[in-house]
Amino acid sequence: MADIESWLTGPAVGCRGSRLIPTVANSSPAFGQYRPRTDGTGYEPWALQVLEFSGDRIASITAFRYTARLFPQFGLPGYLRAEACPGVPA
């Protein structure tokens, strides 16, 4: 997970500053990804990222962008305030 978080919150285009909240989807590790709002007031849902494994390695990551429908199903909030992520660099 650390490698994925490093990629999505670092050099990945458009994902810099994202916040990730872990969850589980169909028995697979997953996380809600939130990207910074353009007005700087917090973070908005971007995608539900679901990991698939082959042995002990990640085989694929599938991003589901239907956040308005999916995030509530996985108990993920519809918005993150900036102060909801203290100590996590943008």
Chain segment 5-62, per-residue pLDDT in tens: 776 666 665 677 789 999 999 899 999 999 988 888 899 999 999 999 999 988 988 9
**Token duo for residue 67:** 């956040």
90 within some domain: no
CA dihedral in degrees (44, 46, 48, 50; nearest 10)? -130
87 within some domain: no
pLDDT, residue 39, reads 87
60 within some domain: yes
Which 3-state string (H, E, C) describes the chain? Answer: CHHHHHHHHCCCCCCCCCEEEEEEECCEEEEEEEEECCCCCEEEEEEEEEEEEECCEEEEEEEECCHHHHHHHCCCCCCEEHHHCCCCCC
Structural domains in the chain (count): 1
16 within some domain: yes
43 within some domain: yes
* Domain span including residue 76: 2-82
Statement: residue 89 has pLDDT above 60: no
31 within some domain: yes
pTM: 0.76
**When comparing pLDDT for 21 and 4, which is higher?**
21
pLDDT, residue 1, reads 65
